[in-house]
Amino acid sequence: MDKMKNTYEVLRECKVNVATGLSAYEAAKRLRQNGTNELESKKKPTMVQLFIEQLLEPMVLILLAASVLSLFMKEYLDVAMIVAVVIVNALIGVIQEYKAEQAMEALQELTRPKAFVKRDGLIHEVEARELVVGDIVLLEAGNRVPADLRLIESRNLKVEESLLTGESEAVEKSHEWYCEKPVELQEQKNMVFMSTFVTYGSALGVVVACGMDSEVGKVAAILRDTKEEKTPLQKRLAQLSKLLGIGALAICLLMFLVGVLRKAELLDMLMLSISLAVAAIPEGLPAVVTIVLALGMQRMSRHHAIVRKLHAVETLGSVSVICSDKTGTLTQNQMRVEETYCASAFGSTSTHLLLGLALCNEVHIQDEQLIGEPTETALVEYARSKGYDKRSLSKMYTLVDTIAFDSARKMMTSVYRHQGEIISFTKGAVEQILKRCTHIEKENGIVSLQEMDRKQIMQAMETMGKQAYRTIAVAMKKDGQMPEQHMIFIGLVAMIDPPRKEAKEAIALCHKAGISVRMITGDHPLTALAIARKLKIAEKEEEVCSGSMLDEMNDAAFAQQIDRFRVFARVTPAHKVRIVEQLQKRGEVVAMSGDGVNDAPSVKKADIGIAMGKGSDVCKQASDLILSDDNFSLIVRAVEEGRTIYANICKAVLYLLSCNLGEIMALFLSVLLMPRGTAVLCAIQILWVNMVTDALPALALGVDPLDRFVMEEAPRHPKESLFAHGGGLFTVLNGMLIGTMTLVAFRYGMNRSLLCAQTMAFMVLSISQLFHAMNLTSFTHSIWEVGIAKNRWLLLTVCFGIALQVCTVLIPALRMLLKTVLLEMNEWIVVMLASLLVIAVNEISKWAAR
């Protein structure tokens, strides 16, 4: 009951000195003793459990049951072979699932939360899971609370605790609150709890409970709820595979009946039908999708884009509008002061301007290094270069209060005590500052601010804006009254923030890919337009919409004009939500970037919410994608990856389905047409084909490298079927082609013997499927154009599969097991020609389509 003790007691109990924090040694000791500060997640299935799950698939069970029948018939070799194939297939399944699981876990590692902690008297950033009871933790707006903390200091602290209380409104917290008797969680104002978010203010607290001892740790339901929901594509494919599975089962049953009617061997027919069902039911489809998505996520994380939710990978591929921040994302965020304006003159500075720049900010100085936001460090650096060093000034000026910057107010204030008097400096967007000024500092002293002065200042700012400068106005107040009102205007500073070169290229790529790019910024319209011009986002003034214009338009008027606006300037976080909403109403799939605490709603609202790695935890929590480097080109790269991943899933699915169709067709037709229902393949051969041609090539297609043609197409509609753009016809025709060629080879082999015919059919069915996988590297471009070795994995699986296939006739033991015979030269030639036909036909049709 830490909240009922006073702070002193709590600190004593935690055995920590608040001035220095724990020592690194003590922290390490406590970590060893009590374990990491983590919430336990669900137990994961072990490899063995996964393996058993694979064996318990209904069709596999039926197959195993049927092979018991073969045992009675003393077909021992058959049984051994069936069991071996089933085991190999199950192993492939286990490895697939395990890989997918591992990939997901690796991603979780990347998004591990961090915390600022005081140890040995210094502030360190550590992983939140390394916190121990007694650690002194610093919190500021935007942070995720890393453990249960008792507050020691707090300043205007507000915390959003919806995870624990269900209340989405942030609540005020204070170290000063104290209560004698135990109260409900919601009432404990001197405590902040793990996994909640600081939305305003700052604080210092001591860790009183970690991991499973924390309040969230006690709410088991929260932990259970963290399971990932299936993505739309996963759901669709699960449905599809169920449907196709029923279809395949029906055909197998029909085949069995036809076979029996045509007087085929009962047991042979039974084994054949069941094996075909095992081979043709696409039960592996959802697993392939999951693993492709997960591997795609991993690949993206290597390119500094961490996908937080699996479904985002799919959505990324259909993004049609990217709304991007300006500062840092489209520009380099390497600010430098280029120009100043004081007392009606460009290039002049005043003592108060430099004092304001040095003192009004949240920059920390550690070992001569300036730590803070680039806008602010540039200003502090500039003041320092003019002899106004923040550190030395701090000895004479004592900080009393700060009103933090937020992108809705667009200004901030620091209040100091100097020689017994209160002085405050405010800096921010020119309009915001000017609105609150009644006086101005000129060469001859402080005079009242005239309309003329206002005009001059606005003109000066426009001159700066047109040169793409970011402008900041500085004001002060000396009378100790309410800051930010009736202030004295001091001057302007202009900073240069050059656009990123790679952003320009990425924007050009977006235009080619049918994606529209909108700049959304808190900066002035003129500055925004100047940068937008350099990046080729916008050219004309009509393409710029300012926050005030937005306020004047109702939704209908805005909807009408939204298409023309490429740049939204001087907008607040609330405007951002409106922009996303209107774009979505037009059917756009919107990606929106953000970093501040207030950006969370728009980031959440967007189809793809993008948070910056350096941004607030609140925003990250609401996002689908986190960029570790806030560079616009990474967003485009992620879209490109998203498109590739979707295309790969499409390839894998169409491949599997056309192959299964080929298998079903060849077998069904042969049972229907051949004397006594003779099948083109025997049961074991079917299982073998399934093993060689199914999972591995499909997975290899799933990891097809980035497709250079993928950004030449318009964005995909999010509800588009996998069989769109002729995908369905492609599957059916190729399935029929593979099936027909198998029958043709069988017919040719019959010239010698049934065994030879089955061997030839076995070869063609398998090899043509492997060749067909090569067709799928591109739906539009020739294999040679794409490059035969572009996908190493695919080439490897195809070569390996063919080699394995050839072994089945060359190695006597396999020949016996798989009931094949040695082929003669002319038969080999027929096998190869029949298998290659599937490539030839596809190449011709791609060529004709172009």
Site of interaction with ligand ATP (CB under 6 A): 325-328, 373, 375-376, 405, 407, 410-412, 427-429, 470-472, 521-524
Shortest reach from residue 595's CB to ligand ATP, in Å: 7
Q: Provide the pairing of β-strand 421-428 with 437-442.
A: unpaired
> By C-beta, is 546 or 670 nearer to ligand ATP?
546
Active site residue 213: no
> By C-beta, is 152 or 635 nearer to ligand ATP?
635
Minimal CB distance residue for ligand ATP: 522
> By C-beta, is 311 or 410 nearer to ligand ATP?
410
Q: In whole angstroms, what is the distance from residue 206 CA to residue 191 CA?
A: 10
Which amino acid type is present at position 827?
E
DSSP per position, 289-357: HHHHHHHHHHHHHHTTEEESSHHHHHHHTT--EEEEESTTTTB----EEEEEEETTEET---HHHHHHH
> By C-beta, is 21 or 328 nearer to ligand ATP?
328
Shortest reach from residue 597's CB to ligand ATP, in Å: 12
Shortest reach from residue 149's CB to ligand ATP, in Å: 27
Which residue is listed with tokens 């001091």? 490
Among left, alpha and beta (phi > 0; psi -120 to 50; other), residue 700 is alpha
> Do 206 and 135 contact (CB within 8 A), yes or no?
yes
Q: 552 is written with which tokens?
A: 């004047």
> Do 473 and 492 contact (CB within 8 A), yes or no?
yes
Shortest reach from residue 250's CB to ligand ATP, in Å: 58
Q: Going along 608-693, which residue ranges are E strands? A: 608-612, 625-627
Q: In whole angstroms, what is the distance from residue 357 CA to residue 364 CA?
A: 14
Shortest reach from residue 359's CB to ligand ATP, in Å: 12
> By C-beta, is 335 or 737 nearer to ligand ATP?
335
Q: What element of type H or E holds 229? A: none
Shortest reach from residue 370's CB to ligand ATP, in Å: 13
Of 400, 70, 486, residue with least CA distance to 266? 70
Q: Would you call 656 helix, strand, or coil by DSSP? A: helix
Shortest reach from residue 571's CB to ligand ATP, in Å: 8
> By C-beta, is 405 or 632 nearer to ligand ATP?
405
Shortest reach from residue 495's CB to ligand ATP, in Å: 9
What sign results for the dihedral spanned by CA atoms 143, 144, 149, 155?
positive
Catalytically annotated residue among 2, 268, 325, 704? 325
Burial level of 581, CB count in 10 A (0-12/13-18/19+)? middle
Reported for 794-801, long-range contacts at CB under 8 A and 24+ positions apart, including other chains, are: 794/697, 794/700, 794/701, 794/704, 796/700, 797/696, 797/697, 797/700, 797/770, 797/773, 798/697, 798/770, 798/771, 798/773, 798/774, 800/696, 801/692, 801/693, 801/696, 801/697, 801/766, 801/767, 801/770
Q: What element of type H or E holds 366? A: strand 364-366
What is the CB neighbour count within 10 angstroms for residue 11?
18
DSSP per position, 599-625: GHHHHHHSSEEEEETTS-HHHHHH-SE
Shortest reach from residue 399's CB to ligand ATP, in Å: 16
Q: 303 is written with which tokens?
A: 């390119």
Of 838, 674, 668, 667, residue with least CA distance to 747? 674
Shortest reach from residue 331's CB to ligand ATP, in Å: 8
Q: In whole angstroms, what is the distance from residue 330 CA to residue 448 CA?
A: 40
Q: What element of type H or E holds 129? A: none
What sign results for the dihedral spanned by CA atoms 461, 467, 471, 475?
negative
Q: In whole angstroms, what is the distance from residue 431 CA to residue 446 CA?
A: 20
> By C-beta, is 96 or 402 nearer to ligand ATP?
402
Residues assigned a catalytic role:
325
